[in-house]
Amino acid sequence: MSDEKTTGEILDTALNSEKVVSENESVEEKAEDKSPEVSDTALYKDKTEGEEQVKEEAPKEEPPKEESKEEVTPEKKKKKKKKKKKETDPNEGVIYTAKPVSFARRHPGCMGCFTVFLIFILVLGGLGYAGYKIISDEYVGTDSTLAKIMIKLNIAKEAEEVEVNVDIPDGTSVNGIASRLDSSGIIDSQYHFMALCKLKKAGGDFKSGKYKLSNRMTFSEIAEELRKGGISPTAVKLTVKEGQWLKEIATDLSAKGLCTYDEFIAAASSRDYSYDFVADIPERANLLEGYLYPETYYIEPGTPAKDIVAMMLEQFDKNVDATLRESIKAKGKTLDDIVIAASVIEGEATLTEEKPLVASVIYNRIAQGMKLQMNDTVQYALGRKDRVMEADLLVQDSHNTYVCNGLPSGPVGNAGIESIKAAIEPAQTDYLYYVKAGANSFGHKFSSDYQQFLQDKDAYFEDKDS
């Protein structure tokens, strides 16, 4: 039998040994010990001059080399630790490689920390994105959940809308302006306003003067007003009411001495304005009726009538923006159709919540080939009257919806934005009729059945005569 021992014999010898050679001992001490060590490293046989030596397995099974009989230094210990360790299974008598323990099992707390850190980063990113949107004012006035959160953080006060006169003296700093806006109730916080000024690089071009500001204005709107400059002390206030006629605006301007009646009528019948929607209006009398946006204007005496009209067209263009015009186009309608319908809605509905309902009645009656038969169109044909009589319904005028089919030939007043939106997005109903809910009521009773309408009508007259 050969002097060379098998691997099994080496393992048997190792298991029967009572001595364990420490990993910190030198190779020389291992060679002198008659009981070979069984450690985490694999056992290899190397026959050199008839002696058996135990060596660690090389990474790529290279022929074992004779180790020098020198002390194991700390640097060599580190090298040994980097090598893969092998264990012996005393039950099986075979050599196997130990499986590495996973990072998560060796460090059970680290995965939880990583999860918390990841959540923190996501939350921080979300807040940063929301902050950006707040600063950009993009969501103000929308109905999304994110928008509602941001509106609360916006510069506007959470209160009933009011207009306030604010005087900014000459030489007032940006911080001073913010303080005056805060004390006047225009903004929610002086420091919030200052922070937005810094983030949006605003304030350097703010002007002194007298301002008419609302507590529902956004930061961008306030900043725009402050850049334009305050209201001149000589400016004359003109309020164009929702539903007001072009002729009535001309009368008010004449009464305030801003221009003559005829000058304004002529300016409001011209196409000489740089707006696409003006060019698209069909040829008719009182050309710009319906496009003179209801708003409060401050006009310097001596301002040409054409410039006054331009101010009103500018407000229309600003409020009936590109988004609304795209919605109109998507529904296969023209802007002029919407302006005409909105003018009828404005004249018929006082309550904002009823405007989409009145719009639905208009479109439902047109779809069924019914005349609209709406009193406000008769008023426009005849002029303002306290009461429309039966004979008035027969007046032959292209605006009178008792004699003409479909919409009037042109707007019957200048509608506000809520009526315009209702004309674009009417309520989805089958209503064909409505009548006032009571003699002293601003609301209406709506119905799709003619007999029900007659009952509602009788109830109204009974209430009125009582």
Asked whether residue 145 falls in the same domain as residue 208, the answer is no
- CA pair distance 340, 346, nearest whole angstrom: 10
Domain count, the chain: 5
Decide if 452 is inside a domain: no
Decide if 342 is inside a domain: yes
Decide if 464 is inside a domain: no
The pLDDT, as a whole number, for residue 267 is 98
What are the start-end ranges of the E strands in 45-172? 46-48, 51-53, 86-89, 94-97, 163-168
The pLDDT, as a whole number, for residue 18 is 44
Asked whether residue 255 falls in the same domain as residue 354, the answer is no
Decide if 2 is inside a domain: no
Residue 218 belongs to what domain range?
163-228
The pLDDT, as a whole number, for residue 144 is 45
Which residues of the chain fall short of a pLDDT of 50?
A: 1-8, 10-11, 14-61, 66-69, 81-89, 91-98, 134-153
CATH number at residue 187: 3.30.1490.480
The pLDDT, as a whole number, for residue 291 is 98
Decide if 408 is inside a domain: yes
Asked whether residue 75 falls in the same domain as residue 46, the answer is yes
In degrees rounded to 5, what are phi and psi of residue 237? -85, 130
Asked whether residue 375 falls in the same domain as residue 273, the answer is no
Decide if 458 is inside a domain: no
The pLDDT, as a whole number, for residue 152 is 41
The pLDDT, as a whole number, for residue 361 is 98
Asked whether residue 337 falls in the same domain as residue 421, the answer is yes
- CA pair distance 70, 195, nearest whole angstrom: 72
Asked whether residue 236 falls in the same domain as residue 218, the answer is no
- Secondary element (H or E) of residue 114: helix 108-136
- Secondary element (H or E) of residue 210: strand 209-214
The pLDDT, as a whole number, for residue 42 is 40
Asked whether residue 293 falls in the same domain as residue 333, the answer is no
CATH number at residue 315: 3.30.1490
- CA pair distance 97, 314, nearest whole angstrom: 82
Decide if 103 is inside a domain: no
What residues contact 261, with CB distance under 8 A and at least 6 apart?
Answer: 250, 251, 253, 254
Q: Among residues 319, 337, 357, which one ends one of the domains?
A: 319
Decide if 438 is inside a domain: no
